[in-house]
Amino acid sequence: MTGKAALNTFNPLAGNQRAWTAGRVTLVQTVALLVPFIATIAFRGRTVALVFVVALAAAVFWEILFAVIRRKPPTAHGITTALIVAVFVPVTVPLWQVGLSVVMGVVLSELVFGGRGFGFLNPAAVVLALMSFSFPGIVFSGAELWIAVATVPGLALLLAAGLVSWRILVAGSATIVLIASLLGAPFLPIVAGSGLIFGLVFLASDPVGAASTDPGRWLYGILIGGLLAVFGDLSGPETLTNALVFAVLLASIFAPLLDHIVILSFAWLRERRGARSGG
Amino acid sequence: MFQFHRTQNSLPHGVHVKEISEASVASAALVGADFPGIHPSFKVAEGEHVKVGEVLFTDRARPRICFVAPMDGRVETIEFGARRTLSALVIRSDTENVTKDGTLDPIDVGTSDKTLREGLLSSGLWPSFRTRPFGNLPDPDSVPRSIFVHATDSEPYAIDPRMALENQEEAFHRGVELLTRLTNGAVYICQSPGPVLATKSSRIKIFNRYGPHPAGLVGACIHAVEPVELDRQIWTIDAQDVVAIGRFADTGCYDPSRIVALTGPRAAPSRLLRTVPGASIRDLCRDELGETAPLRVFSGSTLSGREAAWLGRYHRQITLQDAEPESRQRTSLIGRARNPSPCPIIPTRSVERGLPSGFFTIPLMRALAVRDSESAARLGAHGLVEEDVALLSNLCTSGSDYGKLLRNVLDDLAEQI
């Protein structure tokens, strides 16, 4: 449905107006995150907004600092990181821990590479992973049904905009369901409630961190599902969101390798076909 | 409804005009931008009179490749570009002081393949062909793996190339027959859907190619049929040049006339013109240029064409468009477009569809951006030329000129061979 529409789109204004800029990508992602964020405030109280403000301040401060050092205009990409963190982090976590994790995560995952789009990891996933490492005992929320429901409008928007790949979502969810049904584990109720959808959409399917070829995206989704099963099984079902964070982080690190494998195998196939037909 | 891009049909104006108006021009030019890498060795001097079809210059490295005058007139200026390449050679019609009479002697293409080649070379029709990989003019003695006749189009505001072939079917057939004598492989005709343009045979194959851009690019057709290999050349030729070859075989004379579409939002109205390659665009669209509102004039499409004063040798359309007011050049509030430093490549689905299907767009863009020619070749970059990646420059968040990036990589690959 949306695929056909996207096929037809091109901007006839050569050169002078681009259809997409990095800023516009962030803008659309921010809009997609608003509903889950507001739902989180509604369910967990106003402290969530405080978490957001602290995370945003930490991200933007370093963004501006790097911009000054690099003599580039600052960007507002930190806003999506802050929104995702605000949804995931429970309000019981001290704010200084949130701020510290955001600083480390944003600097390490994107600013040292030159900003959003130059790195290869989702900054929010790195922030959450660092928080989980540094302050043991934090159990991320995000596996409740209401978050899943609140994610749906944003998911539809991102799918329409072509900023998430359905292949990753399908491959990831199918693998989780398959493994869960094989194990018959306590997994199943959560999966059935599709409580992981927020993480799958905003962490796993981030275009920067994910694989960038279509076959690679299938492999990447399957890898996330498999890793989630391993990590989730180790730490127990209540920390499934933590497991998802680490599954995404590891899969993102492997994503370029998956793409490389796909490209090599396609090149090999083409060579073999060429050798057969060309003689 | 939330709209991300300006959506537009491939043929927004649906040029339905069937009649072709004759458009005479006072001047025409051969422009170096059409022939990259050609160092001219001039056979005429400024001020000399030339007849249509008369040799103006040859390629210094391959003197058998001739470039001829598209119209009668006087050579007004010869401008050099960097490193003694051609910038432009302008011919102005000069009806008062005609010193030469008659026409040039017809060239007989004969029956052998050798005489056909020599005929095409000396008549100035050889530059109709371009090679893949690299998009250069082919060597006079090279034999391509196959030849692709480009008779479809999906560029913005393009017209169906079929319209330009009407009533010239016989010459087209004759041209296609001759093409089979230049290759040992097949001649592929990539046409828009409809009646077949040539008779199918073991050597002549027909492909219906149409759809949203970039489906109608000849690069997309090639990749779907016979992906380009670095060591085996494929030639491409425009359908109208095939007609010219067919007519040349019958008469022995170079007939420069070609049909171009004057199109785009500012064309009043969109129409077909019969003119010559290199024609002065100012002369072709006098009506539109008289208007006061600022106007941008492209030779070719807004995507792969260029803002130019002369109609390009390989262009089928002239696109007239409103000049963008300054304020609209800002792209968004977040992430100012004024940022002079490189912008990132963020994979979106629309940019992934900016290349013909069968390419891994994002890895290829990354390989081009860092000039990694080895990876780019593995991803099939050698099968592309600038026009194939023009859409990427428009859709990518980085705003890079992928045509230039691709050319860098192609130059590297050409050196390695």
* Mean per-residue pLDDT, B157-173: 85
Secondary structure element (H or E) that encloses residue A25, with its range? helix A22-44
For residue B326, name the pLDDT band (cuts at 50, 70, 90). Answer: low
Contacts of A175 (CB under 8 A, 6+ apart): A221, A222, A224, A225, A226, A229
Chain B contact set for A13 (CB, 8 A): 6, 302, 321, 324, 394
Chain B contact set for A21 (CB, 8 A): 331-332, 335, 337, 343, 397, 399
**Closest Cβ opposite residue B391 in set A10, A24, A27:** A10
How large a percentage of chain A has pLDDT more than 70?
Answer: 85
> B351 and A20: CB-CB below 8 Å?
yes
Least confident of A242-256, B11-25, B138-152: B11-25
> How are strands ordered across the β-sheet holding B55-59?
B40-42, B55-59, B66-68
d(Cα B285, Cα B273) in Å, to the nearest integer? 10
The pTM for the full model equals: 0.87
In terms of phi and psi (left: phi > 0; alpha: psi -120 to 50; beta: otherwise), the region of B371 is: left
d(Cα A14, Cα A114) in Å, to the nearest integer? 27
The pLDDT, as a whole number, for residue A62 is: 93
CA proximity to B174, closest of B149, B207, B191:
B149
Least confident of B51-60, B115-124, B219-228, B285-294: B285-294
Secondary structure element (H or E) that encloses residue A80, with its range? helix A78-88
ipTM over 0.90: no
Asked if residue A233 has pLDDT above 90, the reply is: no
Asked if residue A163 has pLDDT above 70, the reply is: yes
CA proximity to B83, closest of B39, B28, B140:
B39
Q: Closest approach of chain A CAs to the CA of B378, in angstroms?
A: 6
Higher pLDDT, B188 or A235: B188
How large a percentage of chain B has pLDDT more than 70?
Answer: 88
Pair B58, B40: CB distance under 8 Å:
yes
Q: Would you state the structure tokens that stand for residue A226, as one six-digit string? A: 């498999």
* Mean per-residue pLDDT, B60-88: 90
Asked if residue A125 has pLDDT above 50, the reply is: yes
Higher pLDDT, B100 or B130: B130
Burial of B175 from C-beta contacts in 10 A (0-12 / 13-18 / 19+): buried
Least confident of A4-8, A176-180, B103-107, B181-185: A4-8
Asked if residue A17 has pLDDT above 80, the reply is: no
d(Cα A273, Cα A278) in Å, to the nearest integer? 8
CA proximity to A220, closest of A191, A181, A259:
A259
> A23 and B156: CB-CB below 8 Å?
no
Look up residue A43 and give its amino acid.
F
Phi, psi of A163 (to 5 degrees): -105, -5
* Mean per-residue pLDDT, A15-35: 82
Contacts of B222 (CB under 8 A, 6+ apart): B132, B148, B228, B234, B236, B383
The pLDDT, as a whole number, for residue B8 is: 36
The pLDDT, as a whole number, for residue B216 is: 84
Pair B33, B19: CB distance under 8 Å:
no
Pair B285, B320: CB distance under 8 Å:
yes
Q: Omega into B256 within 30° of 0, i.e. cis?
A: no
Handedness of CA B315, B245, B235, B44 (dihedral sign): negative
CA proximity to A229, closest of A267, A277, A185:
A185
Chain A residue with the nearest C-alpha to that of B393 = A15
The pLDDT, as a whole number, for residue B102 is: 56
The pLDDT, as a whole number, for residue A13 is: 39
The pLDDT, as a whole number, for residue B144 is: 93
Mean pLDDT of chain B: 83
Q: What is the pLDDT of residues B204-257, one digit of tens each?
A: 888 887 778 888 888 888 888 888 888 889 999 999 999 999 998 888 888 888
Asked if residue A9 has pLDDT above 80, the reply is: no
In a mutagenesis test of the B interface, which of A1, A7, A18, A258 is the best target, namely the one with the most B β-carbons within 10 Å?
A18
For residue B11, name the pLDDT band (cuts at 50, 70, 90). Answer: very low
The pLDDT, as a whole number, for residue B127 is: 93
Asked if residue A94 has pLDDT above 90, the reply is: yes
* Mean per-residue pLDDT, A26-36: 94
Contacts of A155 (CB under 8 A, 6+ apart): A32, A164, A197, A201
Burial of B265 from C-beta contacts in 10 A (0-12 / 13-18 / 19+): middle
Higher pLDDT, A205 or B398: A205
Asked if residue A1 has pLDDT above 90, the reply is: no
